[in-house]
Structure formats: structure tokens, C-alpha cells
Structure 1
């Protein structure tokens, strides 16, 4: 309880958490969201995941949040951890892919609006086939998946993209990277069961989207890159698609699987003073995999009628609800992220065949 009191007090004082029943609000003034990977003072406070945005608090009890206060404590908290500052041997890659196909669309959001079907803008869901407003850790674990690895029953979702009012859904397995967001890639550990969070905000402005620490290349199509909103047009060819890449925070407070704003239990790494090293802040010392969405939408030509269900292109955001089989996720994280490899969904790095694969030909533990 003391931890919750300190967290709420700190967020209210900073203007970061203004819990309402209306959903997501605006950004507080004085935002300092320069991505750590580009430039940030090592003495600056760590960037929180929400960067001043507000999220609706859960106001009803669920199987995961029995008292309905918005806090979901970890079953096994991780305590006594200090941010890793070791510099292991340099590896350009430390990642694997979770290739997951679109399963359905629905105006639900089990993180922001649990138990309230139809309360959200429309979302495009990937991975778990059962995701809806009533999803919980247990329901996802008992569901099925359209990820290549059967052990990945996690739920991934984002606002639905449309052109002229007609949904345009990504085709085939989409690329969801699991990477190291910190310099000491050997310190990365698997997600705790039931962890969930929201990346970005549907009400962020164009400038807030551009300056968000998760921003990579914005919207891109053909030779057009770093677009904050949708480009007006793309080359019309069979292999041209509209793409977006966006990174999630990768530092965890070690205590909560969710918080009322669905973001403050997570943080982006910061640059260690006097170095170029990315480390987790003391408030969120546990290094987890950094998820990066790399979505491809089969649309090109005139994009003047392209919209997201949440609004303009800069309203892009996404949600993640972890329901991995724990041994499978650990095998991939240990082999590929901690091992410094560039792996596919099997945990195989074709440039290092001698390292073998984490999973068998069926994408399961051998």
C-alpha cells in the first residue's frame, strides 16, 4: 500500500496521471520526451511510458484486478534489483521475432476498458484468437493463437486502419520484434505472466508522436520516411505498402502487472551519465524485452482517405497483454536476446547456424 501511495502521489505531483472516466487525455506541459537512444542527459529523470498522457482507470473488478483499483500486483515481485550497468561484448543484434497474424477486429480493449465491450474505438487484434473486453490472463492462456510459436498466446492490438471507411488489415504474419532496449543485453529477463501495458496515446499530438521515445521511422511508404501523419500518396505497385515501426518501454518496476494509467509501471531506458549506455532507471530497474511493432498495411496510391479508428496517423498506439508459455519465452529470450543473436520466430540465427535454434521445426520447445 505504501508503494501505491508513493506512486500516485508522485504521478499527481508531476501532472502525469489525471485519472478520469473518459479515457485518454492530453499531454502535460513541459514534456521532455527526447528519445534516450538519440540524446538525453544521464541526470534527467527517466522517461515514463505514458509521457504525460492519461489513461482511464479500471473502475470495476475483474479476475486480474479483484478490487477494481487499477493495480494488478505481480504474483512474484522482483525486488532488490539494481539497474544493470555492465557492458558485455558488443553484439549488433540481440533479438527474436514473434510473427503473429491478424485474428479479428472489435471495439474492445481489455486493458483500458475491461469488461466493457464496445467501449473502445475499433482495434485490430493479432496473436490470441479470443481477445475481447473480458480477456484475462487465464482466458488468454486457455485460448488459441495465430502466432507462429504456439507458446505465444499473448494478445497484441492496435487501432484499425481504414481507407474510405473500409478496414485495411495487415496480411500474413506481422513482425513483432523482441529486443534488448538496454546496453547490457545479458540482463534482460522474460516478461512476468500477465504483464500488460499501452504504448503511446490515441490523443497525442503530431509533435508528441514525433518526440515520443518509441518513435522509430514514423509512417513510411516507398521512399517516403519519418512521416508523423500519413503521406498523401504512395507509389502504386504490388510490393508497396504503408509501414509503421514503434517501440515499447522495456524497464519494469518489478511490482505491478498493470497500473491505473496502464503505463507508469513501465519506463523507457535512459542514457547513463558520461556514457552512451542505455540503462533502466532506479524506479524501474528490471530489464525486459523491448517490443517493437513493425506493421505493414496493404494500401498504396492515394492515401487521402486513410485514417485510424483513433484518428490521424499520429494517434497510432498499441497494446500488449503477455500470455506466453513461460518456458518457451525464457528459451527465446536466453538464446536470442541474452545470447546476442538475430533470430527468427524459431530462435534461429541464419548467420550463426552453429548456435542452433531455441525451438524445433514446429516452433515448440524440443
Structure 2
């Protein structure tokens, strides 16, 4: 059995029931239960995590750079969890902090610790002991009667059941129990919705995660704009005389709620569903080796790259869609998933210089899945438009396109630092060029990926992007992910095509 398969079996064997918010990780975890999620003490609280540096011992020289990057990411996870804690103040039921923040944080720390241990073993060092035992974090400086109950949550597999008619209930194998009230709170809970969810205006909604009007939780008519009312505003990157290479990979091979770039080793790391084309094996446990060994949906079999983005759903009142699947109702993503009618994957050039080849396994992300609430719009890159009006684009609203197709355009950064295939925040190793195409000092131009996704959405239908539950399905959270698994020969073809000003693929 391969390491990839073992990782899948290990991760999935400890997956908890959908209604219990999917805290993976193979063992017990500290469960913080606040006496009331809106308690003022919780607003003043912060998340504290054990530091693991002292347990690493002697890190082999070959592993040091990679381990240092992972340790930076470990700290970044805590900062992100604290931001989510403060942004979510007042939301959720009695177990919201554990299920939506502390549980997923532990899962991500376990995955990073496992990766650190693997790197150290691979480079001749010893795998540190007891790292997983330091994965759980706790709420400090507040919490109003919250308590850590570790023993009752241990035991491996947990089972959950969602009761949509009333307050859903999740029963866990250690004896722990979470019961949800029917009302729900603005912003959505991480999988703990019972009879209803807030509409985004603070009102209770008795129709469940979708309102009577079919809008997803957090959305309203104000989140949609008739494209005819938008003035021409498209500002495409300059290409100069460079060419375009198109990789033809189909529209959707499979989907799942993982993100192995940002949350490696976690089955539901995204808490929303991604569509994939290209590599057929992409999931939360993907590694460079598993991707290289996988098949591909691309016409050119030399392209085993992983291309993925959040799904779009048609939302109608009463439609539960994939209510019992990971990334579905448990994460406030309700409705019928629809595939793109077409997917165009283009690699484009740079107006200032020729492009150089991407390294194999380069990881690039664009946009920000947490741009609506948690992080703000600094890294947002959403572009929504219609097939008959692509010179008119929206960044924070969904377009109403009439009989035309709804279109998403995702442009990826294309200035590479020349050294790293990833970075702690998954952004600093590949950045966007200046408006004129110039890459900052020390960075070099690489082929720029543009994903253009088109959808046939029936006139009059409401729709929504899958998102983290606290991000309210807002259009601004659109994002995409890419891992380059092209063969060196194919990548060289891409570079030659672009630099010679041709259209290829």
C-alpha cells in the first residue's frame, strides 16, 4: 500500500459525522464548550497553542529550509484562527468555537507536524516524538465558563446525524454531544445548523440554510447586479506580442472539499467543495509523488497538473442538495452543484519580458477564500461577468446575465522568485506583476495561468459560490488553485509557444 493510500485510510478512518463539523486527526482533541457563543468574554479571548520548536531536536541541514517554512505556517495558522474567532463573535451554538475554529486548527497542525516529521526522516534525521500530542490549542483570556473536555472526545471514529426539521444533533463516540437550536446566527455556522439560519440581517429564517426566496445564507438581492448596468471596465493584463498556450482538460473530473495546498492531509480542509480538472487523483492527501503517478483529464497526457476552484450551486428554497456530504450542509453550502459548461485554461505571456519555465510542482493560488469577512479584500481577485459582456466585470457582486452564460475569470500571479515552489502563506514565492508587466527585483516572469469558467444558469435562478461558512458565499471570495505537474518537455513547449507569439495547444 502506498504512503498516499495509507494517508487516505488513516485520515478517513477518523472522520467524524458530518453534523459534528468534521474534526479529523486520528485521536482525541481538546473540546472547548462556551457557555454562550455570544458571551462578552469570548470576544476578549484568544487562542493559544503549544510551541513545538524545542521538540524538533537537531534538524538536518537539508531539511532546515523546508521545516522553517512549515513552522512559519504553524504560527500563521494560529493567527488565522484568532482572526476567525474575533470575526465570528456572536455566531454559532454552544460548540461553535470548537467545531468551527479549534477543531479544524488542530487538524491543520497535525498535518503540518506530520509533514515536518516526514521531511526530517527523509533527510536522515529522526521523527520528533509527541508532536501530535501538542496539536490541540485552547481558548485563553476569556470564555465565560468554557471547559476543556478531552477524555470524552477521544476514541477515534465518531458518528453524526443531521435532523433538518428541528435542532440538528451530533452524537460523538466518546459521549460528547452537541445540540443545535433552530434559529442560527448571521454568517452561518460551521456545520451546526438546525431548523434555520440567519438571513444576514439578524432575522431568524425558518426555511433552513436557504431562505424562502432561494438565496443562500448570507446573500440577498443586493449581492446580484444586472450586467447591463455595469460600465465597461475590463483591465486585462498586458501581453505585448506574446502568445497563448491552451491546455484542454475538460470541465470537471471530480470534486471534494479538500485543499491540499493550504490544508494538506485534511479531508475537509476547505469546508467548501472544489471542482477539479487535470490530475485525477487530487484530494486532501495529494503529494508530489501521488500527483506524478496520477492520470489526467487533459488532452495532452504530459499535463498532470491539478487545476481547481469552488463549485457554483443553483439554490432553491427547500433544496438540500448534498446535505449529507462533506462540504455540504455541515458547512452551510446548500443547493445543487452545477458543472461549468466550458473551462478554458490559458497560459499567457508578459508584456515586459519573455517567460521562463515553471518548476515542477510549483503551487500557485489566486484570490482569497476569506476576503469577505476574515481577511478583507487585499488579496481578492474575483472577476464575474457574462459571455456577451466580458468587458464589464464585477468583483464583489454576482452578475445577472439573462440568457447569456455566467462567466468567472481567474488570473494567477506570474512573477516567480526563482527558488521556491511554495511559501508559508502560499503567496510570496509567486506574485503579480506591476500593471505594465514588470516583475519586482529578483523575480522572473513565468507563464500566467488564466482560468475562464462559464455556466449555463437558468434565467430567474438564484445561485451561490461555495465558501467557508463564515464568508457568507460572497462573490468576492472566488479563488483558484494550481499545481504544475507538466512534464519538462511540455513546459518547454509552453514557453516556446508564448515567447514566439503563437497560439498553441
TM range (shorter): 0.5 to 0.7
TM-score (norm 2): 0.48
1:157-176 maps to which residues of 2 (within 5 A)? 157-164=308-315, 165-172=335-342, 174-176=343-345
1:166 offset after TM fit, Å? 0.4
- SS class of match (1:331): helix
Check the 8 A contact 1:95/1:340 in 2, yes or no: yes
Matches of 1:230 and 1:158 in 2, distance apart? 18
Query: Quick one: higher RCO (CA 8 Å, sep 6+), 1 or 2?
Result: 1
Name the structure 1 match of 2:77: 20
1:324 offset after TM fit, Å? 0.6
1:228 offset after TM fit, Å? 2.3
- SS class of match (1:105): strand
Q: Does 1:219 align with 2:385?
A: yes
For residues 70-117 of structure 1, what are the alpha-carbon distances to aligned partners after superposition, in whole Å with 9 as ceiling and x for unaligned? xxxxxxxxxxxxxxxxxxxx9544211112221111011111111111
Matches of 1:106 and 1:261 in 2, distance apart? 22
More helix by share: 2
Q: Does 1:308 align with 2:478?
A: no
Residues 309 and 204 (structure 1 numbering): CA distance in 2 closer, same or farther, change over 3 Å?
closer
- SS class of match (2:501): coil
Q: 2:285 aligns with which of 134, 142, 149?
A: 134
Structure 1 residue runs without a partner (length 5+):
28-55, 69-89, 272-276, 346-366
The count of aligned residue pairs is: 272
RMSD of aligned Cα (Å)? 3.5
Matches of 2:82 and 2:346 in 1, distance apart? 29
Check the 8 A contact 1:61/1:67 in 2, yes or no: no
Structure with higher Rg: it is: 2
Name the structure 2 match of 1:342: 503
Residues 22 and 214 (structure 1 numbering): CA distance in 2 closer, same or farther, change over 3 Å?
same
Q: 1:97 aligns with which of 236, 241, 246?
A: 246
1:248 offset after TM fit, Å? 0.8
Matches of 1:209 and 1:20 in 2, distance apart? 17
More strand by share: 1
Name the structure 1 match of 2:417: 253
Check the 8 A contact 1:233/1:303 in 2, yes or no: no
* 242-251 or 309-318, larger mean C-alpha shift: 309-318
Check the 8 A contact 1:106/1:123 in 2, yes or no: yes
Q: Does 1:106 align with 2:275?
A: no
Structure 2 residue runs without a partner (length 5+):
1-60, 85-107, 122-238, 316-334
Q: Does 1:233 align with 2:400?
A: yes
1:232 offset after TM fit, Å? 5.9
TM-score (norm 1): 0.65
1:340 offset after TM fit, Å? 1.2
* 262-271 or 225-234, larger mean C-alpha shift: 225-234
Check the 8 A contact 1:209/1:314 in 2, yes or no: no
